[in-house]
Structure 1
Amino acid sequence: MYLACDNLCFLAKNMYNLCNYTIRQEFFRTKTVKKYGVLNKELKHTDAFVELGSNAAQMVTKSLCKSWKSFLVAVKDYTMHPKKYLGKPKIPAYKKKDGRFICTLTNMQTHIKDGYLYFSFKRMKKYNNLIHTKVIGYHLGTRIIPKGGCYIIEIVYRDEKQFINNLDRNRISSIDLGINNFVTMVNNIEEPSIVINGKGIKSYNQYWNKKVSNLRRIAKAINGSDWTKRMQNLTNKRYFKMEYFMHCTSRWVVDYCVNHNIGTLIIGKNDGWKQKSNMHKVVNQTFTQIPYESFIKKLEYKCEEAGIDLIETEEAYTSGTSFLDDELPIKENYNKLRRVYRGLFRSNNGKYINADVNGAFQIMRKVFSNVKANEIVGAYSHPVIINL
């Protein structure tokens, strides 16, 4: 099945590059972008279109048209708000000659029967009844996604379940993301603070960095290669470990909120925080390799399913301002010298609080400025450690 998926994604790449070439030439000549209907009419008799199949080829064309539309919107916004961007938006580039691209099969080419995925697509029919799925919603299509040395088959469906949204919006929890303490979660309902241990993924990141660095050194010495199959296998293993951890953690957080009738969840996030991080080299390497964005995306859709309001907020000045002293997390109150010892924050009256717990409460205060420390019992108690 690997070879069949590989061939489809290779043909999808050919279609992508042909379509992109057509759009780019028109854009350079007239500064306009061809519409999907025009492209489909022009390219439907080309070899790339015919070899991939009309439905899959049309999905590639639609995907590229969306990319160009996003590019034009980004360029227009960049001229008015350049500081929002790391650099000027670039036009969609070609895929490498030996590269691969996502192949999307519509629900006319795939369907689900008795819990198994079936292909109406001719070259994939022999793999019918091999892929088991728990999908019970309306099947929209199937995506074959190249991921390093393997392919991920995603089943796209519309969840038709009706979710009852009856959680209490006044019961609030907030999250501070970190490295050793991957999730520090606090609340206003007199429950202990929670820390989800992140040392496991930190340790595996360190192992991956060390192993890949050593393998790269050996490969360069032997044949001048910069990447090997073994390195790719290690990278795939790391990716799946991270994905599993992010899914487990986001599920645990949502279940905790539902079990405690928490209807509002706040999470701290700064745009461009990885690009602007200025930590010690080793800490910075670990921080930038942990997929926080992936965790937030998984948390978003799980919260939506459970009827929880997820609020994202920037977390500036939350680590150096004091929750116990009812300080607002603003620049005027910021004093990083109060973060003492290892992971402790000292308030102005000499009380100590876990530094990440303090940060999580200040993230809550970013959204609800009327939160008071004396109203939350056990705000400076030691958090409960959760190992997943």
Structure 2
Amino acid sequence: MFFKSHGVEVEWVEESLPKTYEDELVEDLISIMSSFSAKIYGRRSAQRRKRDAASREHLIKKTHKYWKECDNLAFKAKNLYNLCNYYMRQSFFNTGKVLTNSKLYHAVSSSDAYKLMPSTKIACSLIRQVCQVWKGYFQAHEDWNINPHKYLGEPKIPKYKDKLKGRYSLIYKGSEAIYKKSLSKGICHLSQSNIKLKMYKAKKTVQARIVPKKDSYLVEIVYEVEEPLNQKPSNNIAGIDLGVDNLIALSCNVQGVKPLLINGKPLKSINRLYNKTRSRIQSKIGENKSSKRLNGITLKRNNQVDDYLHKASSIVVNYLKANQITTLVVGKNDNWKQKVKIGKRNNQNFVQIPHSRLIEMLDYKCQLAGINMVTVNEAYTSKCSALDLEPICKHNKYLGRRIKRGLFRTANKKVINSDINGSLNIIRMYSPETFTVEEIASCGVQPLKVNPLERVK
């Protein structure tokens, strides 16, 4: 038998020698030890797999007692970021290359901006962030040269933050940055500061982040959680068609389970009021200008939208768990909101609903619940007839068609909800053989309508 070692071809010759009792005993011991080590390694790797990260967020407004301290820390972080970025830009302009992590550290470690940081560990993490920003720029630019159609324009080199208004985020990680004594009491106390925020008890904190927003700061406390055991594998699949009036249309291949429609009109109302108020304020201060009032209503609108999406995604995950569904398929098209032309009013309604944010929420909540989530291209899923098992592609003439008030009429004159028709086709995009004509007819029944804002009595 021949094999290569360091580029040299070596011949391996096997000779069969008679085994002694000692040889057999050694082989048995080796097999026992290898199986034991495999079990230990398996347990450790399983423990590593069971750990996942979640976060708790605290919004620090200008009226909050910690706002000034957060603002001061973010200002110092901005100074160090600009200094690091200066050395990286100068190296790039002069040599065409950027500094490594260690070289950048030695370049800034004696500066005042570095010494004014709360701790060495936080300053070093910021230096690593700057290196990652530049690494991301090079990767994006290299990919842009190969696939320019994926981008809206050529990636640009990282810029400086504004000297006065600019702020940058901080990452607190490890025992040097977060005091251990307060963690047992359910409080996250950031080192070298008076910032003490509540967190979940008996959780191992991974890190804390201070993220600057418009006229506020978001303090994110990231901690470890144990992943639940994966549900028993099954063939139960659910599909989601995202929309506007019906934010989520969800159906599954489980017979006897009603489809689900989650109302999207409250989101339209939130955006409508925001646009109306924003237009009135913008007319007074002028175009391309901002104000405290404008930042305030933007923050309120973003919080309302996030709250609504969290409630909607939780309803979906609870529905999947209750019906023992192990796979969720979500329809999505890349760049589906770029240069969209569906009318002025429809453009505004569609573009302002953050469907990608909703998909991210569904993704991480499904992971915590042990549910597999995948995305598929939803092209032609709304035009093709699901109950007729029509092939999902472009046709000159379709078997069914959409009629008034969000209804879809099949070739057999059967009428179902048009969004449910789309969600059934999304399941078929992922698993074409999952339905028969009889099975899919029992899945396209009258859906259950849900409003996340309704209070449970």
1:225 shift after superposition: 8.2
Question: Residues 102-117 of structure 1 correspond to what in structure 2 (within 5 A)?
Answer: 102-107=169-174, 108-111=176-179, 112-117=183-188
- Change in CA separation of 1:279 and 1:42 when aligned onto 2, cut-off 3 Å: same
| AA of the residue aligned to 1:289 | Q
Aligned partner of 2:272 among 194, 197, 206 = 206
Cα deviation, 1:116-148, whole Å, max 9, x if unaligned, reads 111222xx23x33xx211154321211011121
Aligned partner of 1:386 among 423, 434, 450 = 450
Q: Is the 8 A contact 2:262 2:451 kept in 1?
A: yes
Question: Residues 164-243 of structure 1 correspond to what in structure 2 (within 5 A)?
Answer: 164-190=229-255, 191-220=257-286, 226-243=289-306
Q: Is the 8 A contact 1:149 1:232 kept in 2?
A: yes
TM value normalised by structure 2: 0.79
1:76 shift after superposition: 1.7
Name the counterpart of 2:59.
Answer: none
Q: Is the 8 A contact 1:267 1:310 kept in 2?
A: yes
Gaps of 5+ in 1: none
1:202 shift after superposition: 1.0
In structure 2, what is the Cα distance between the partners aligned to 1:339 and 1:162?
42
Name the counterpart of 1:57.
Answer: 123
Name the counterpart of 2:376.
Answer: 313
1:262 shift after superposition: 0.5
1:298 shift after superposition: 1.4
SS in 2 for 1:23: helix
Cα deviation, 1:263-306, whole Å, max 9, x if unaligned, reads 00011111111114221111211221111121111111111111
- Change in CA separation of 1:48 and 1:280 when aligned onto 2, cut-off 3 Å: same
| Corresponding residue pairs, total | 379
1:85 shift after superposition: 2.1
In structure 2, what is the Cα distance between the partners aligned to 1:335 and 1:14?
61
Name the counterpart of 1:331.
Answer: 394
In structure 2, what is the Cα distance between the partners aligned to 1:282 and 1:342?
18
Aligned partner of 2:224 among 139, 145, 158 = 158
1:194 shift after superposition: 0.2
Q: CA RMSD in A?
A: 1.9
Range that drifts further, 208-217 or 374-383: 374-383
Q: Which runs of 4+ in 1 moved over 6 A?
A: none
- Does 1:290 pair with 2:348? no
Q: Is the 8 A contact 1:317 1:334 kept in 2?
A: no
1:333 shift after superposition: 6.5
Gaps of 5+ in 2: 1-65, 453-457
Name the counterpart of 1:264.
Answer: 327
In structure 2, what is the Cα distance between the partners aligned to 1:385 and 1:184?
9
In structure 1, what is the Cα distance between the partners aligned to 2:387 and 2:346?
28
1:334 shift after superposition: 7.2
Name the counterpart of 2:67.
Answer: 2
Cα deviation, 1:161-186, whole Å, max 9, x if unaligned, reads 24211243311101111111111100
What fraction of aligned residue pairs are identical, expressed as a percent? 37
SS in 2 for 1:86: coil
In structure 1, what is the Cα distance between the partners aligned to 2:262 and 2:124?
44
Name the counterpart of 1:96.
Answer: 162
1:86 shift after superposition: 2.2
Aligned partner of 2:430 among 337, 355, 367 = 367
Name the counterpart of 1:26.
Answer: 91
Q: Is the 8 A contact 2:184 2:201 kept in 1?
A: no
| AA of the residue aligned to 1:347 | T
In structure 2, what is the Cα distance between the partners aligned to 1:259 and 1:210?
40
Determine which structure has more spread, i.e. the larger CA radius of gyration. 2
Cα deviation, 1:336-358, whole Å, max 9, x if unaligned, reads 99222121122223222211111
Name the counterpart of 1:36.
Answer: 101
- Does 1:70 pair with 2:136? yes
Q: Is the 8 A contact 1:175 1:268 kept in 2?
A: yes
Q: Is the 8 A contact 2:387 2:441 kept in 1?
A: no
In structure 2, what is the Cα distance between the partners aligned to 1:348 and 1:261?
32
1:153 shift after superposition: 0.7
| AA of the residue aligned to 1:113 | S
SS in 2 for 1:211: helix
In structure 2, what is the Cα distance between the partners aligned to 1:36 and 1:334?
60
| AA of the residue aligned to 1:345 | F
In structure 1, what is the Cα distance between the partners aligned to 2:178 and 2:201?
13
